[in-house]
A and B are shown apart, each in its own frame.
Chain A
Amino acid sequence: MDSIIEVNNVSKTYKTGFQALQPIDLSIKRGEIFALLGPNGAGKTTLISIICGIVNASGGTITADGLDIQRHYRQARQRIGLVPQELAVNIFESVWNTVKFSRGLFGCAPDDAYLEQLLKNLSLWDKKDSTIMALSGGMKRRVLIAKALAHQPRILFLDEPTAGVDVELRRDMWAMIRRLRDEGVTIILTTHYIEEAEDMADRIGVINKGQLMLVEEKHRLMRDLGRKSLTVHLTQPLAVLPSPIDSETVELAADGLSLSYQYNTAATDTGVAELLQTLAQSGIDYSDVSTKQSSLEEIFVSLVEEKA
């Protein structure tokens, strides 16, 4: 898969001296869903804003579909759509006019049939003549998506697209994002909802304090950095762990009825077999064994805390 966005050594330092982005290199693959995760103030929006031309970088270069975003800004920007984090939309305009405005602004000839289909896909067609101020928060966010897609971009940035929307709408948006990806649109999203990244992203980037800490395939990231937890449910309460079980790696529950053991799934010797063998040799009976894979959220939190 070739790359559609190349970020080379891009940094941002504000006049106040605050360094929002340390030099960053990032490559986004064509047709993927890339999730950029990071806590508040990590630099996610700054990076997106620089790529979209809203904020000037202090250094570095960026290409979009092979086009330098400075030298060939017209062609580069025509390929990019942006859904901002804030509900920034002219509330006095009608839905139809604002979407039409966006299409024209991005240099596209009028195409009412396309805009009609777009609004229908976003369940906004019956609201096309409504002023935006009359719409709910979720509807306004859909309008922002419609505006970003009005010029048929090949790259779509979604900055916290589901922040503050209800569960049902969030599910709708996820479905829409997947549909866009199926149509060949490359999606880059930032999110606080790690569940969102876990559910949708092909690759994940973690950014913290302006530094891109890692970029990895989601499944590989969860396999390499993810830990599994094994819980052994005992038939009789246990007072102390039998030797040679290490109390630093195996934890006995307060009621003595279960043991839990954390292990790395990528390790050649996970230690699970030895643990179960030791229990059997010690005459400790168990009724059930269960395992749980750590979530992306747990991986993310441990990464951010580790580098903090």
Chain B
Amino acid sequence: MNTYGVKAIYLFELARTWRTLMQSIASPVLSTSLYFIVFGSAIGSQIVSIDGISYGAFIIPGLVMLTILTESTSNASFGIYMPKFSGTIYEILSAPVSAFEIVAGYVGAAATKSILLGLIILLTARLFVDYSIAHPLLMLLFLVLTCVTFALLGFLIGLWANSFEQLQIIPMMVIAPLTFLGGTFYSISMLPEFWQKVTLLNPVVYLVSGFRWSFYGSADVHIGVSLAMITLFIAICSGLIAWVFHTGYKLKN
């Protein structure tokens, strides 16, 4: 194991966060605060409660998810796309690091940023809403697994993308809509029966639901199903990344 190599990539990527502090941390925190003000206070004041939870508290897990899904994806995709774009990927490919170590460095850094961001958002939410976390360890586990999963997805997108436009297209056109439609701001039990079944095809539902369960002990989907789904997503993304490194697709000509 080339621990120095993993550490070098990991620290290099984290250093990028500090260089772009406003973009990396301040901007998502600001936009999440605006969500709390608009949805939690303005609109939420018109909704009494969902499953016995105040609307403001209900949306906290969804809002954290909304941010960490997009941030994990964009951080990891940008992290590996930039060396491809600038040509510095030659150094990574010619170094004595395995595919696992490269992924550990990039995905680890992207996931770390998102985990920190999720925790910062939870602290920020405390300024607006009073909430409690019923299962803090499970909440942390879900936070970590979700960040890792979407950082893996982002890494795949970065490997696949040929342009900055392609880099943005999946986070903007796929992940953001799925998150909004995945029960971020509502319980899927509030939907008509047909749309409830359709919504279950949305993978984000299982993430939001599981994360919400760790807060309030109740959710749209059983916690076991949520954990199984997130494990499946990790397996799919890891398998695809392993295939890319094995074949050299878009990486080694």
- Contact surface of A with B, Cβ cutoff 8 Å: 14, 49, 52-56, 73-78, 80, 82, 84, 86, 88-92, 97, 100-109, 147
Residue of B15, B96, B253 near A97 (CB, 8 A) is B15
Measured CA separation A80–B96 after assembly (Å): 10
Residue of B nearest to A75 (CB): B96
A11 to chain B, nearest CB (A): 14
- The interface residues of chain B lying within 8 Å CB-to-CB of A52 are 90, 93-94
Q: List 17 A-B contacts (CB under 8 A).
A: A14-B253, A49-B90, A54-B252, A76-B96, A77-B94, A88-B88, A89-B86, A90-B86, A100-B8, A104-B4, A104-B7, A104-B8, A105-B4, A105-B8, A105-B9, A105-B95, A107-B96
Measured CA separation A106–B6 after assembly (Å): 10
Task: List B88-134 residues whose CB lies under 8 Å from chain A.
Answer: 88, 90-98
Number of B interface residues in the complex (CB < 8 A): 25
- A54 lies within 8 A of B4 (CB): no
- The interface residues of chain A lying within 8 Å CB-to-CB of B92 are 105
From known contacts A14-B253, A54-B252, A106-B5, infer whether A101 and B12 are also in contact, taking CB-CB under 8 Å.
yes
- A84 lies within 8 A of B96 (CB): no
Measured CA separation A102–B88 after assembly (Å): 11
- A84 lies within 8 A of B87 (CB): yes
Measured CA separation A77–B4 after assembly (Å): 15
- The interface residues of chain B lying within 8 Å CB-to-CB of A101 are 8, 12
From known contacts A107-B2, A107-B5, infer whether A88 and B86 are also in contact, taking CB-CB under 8 Å.
yes
Residue of A54, A91, A92, A108 near B94 (CB, 8 A) is A54
- The interface residues of chain A lying within 8 Å CB-to-CB of B9 are 105
- Contact surface of B with A, Cβ cutoff 8 Å: 2, 4-5, 7-9, 12, 15, 19, 82, 86-88, 90-98, 248, 252-253
Measured CA separation A54–B7 after assembly (Å): 21
- A77 lies within 8 A of B96 (CB): yes
- A84 lies within 8 A of B90 (CB): yes
- B94 lies within 8 A of A89 (CB): no
Interface of B, secondary structure class, is: helix
- B96 lies within 8 A of A106 (CB): yes
A79 to chain B, nearest CB (A): 9
- Select the residue from B2, B87, B91, B248 with max chain A CB neighbours within 10 A: B91
B61 to chain A, nearest CB (A): 35
- The interface residues of chain B lying within 8 Å CB-to-CB of A105 are 4-5, 8-9, 91-92, 95, 97
From known contacts A101-B12, A106-B5, infer whether A54 and B96 are also in contact, taking CB-CB under 8 Å.
no
- Select the residue from B86, B87, B88, B95 with max chain A CB neighbours within 10 A: B95
- The interface residues of chain B lying within 8 Å CB-to-CB of A54 are 90, 93-94, 252
B199 to chain A, nearest CB (A): 41
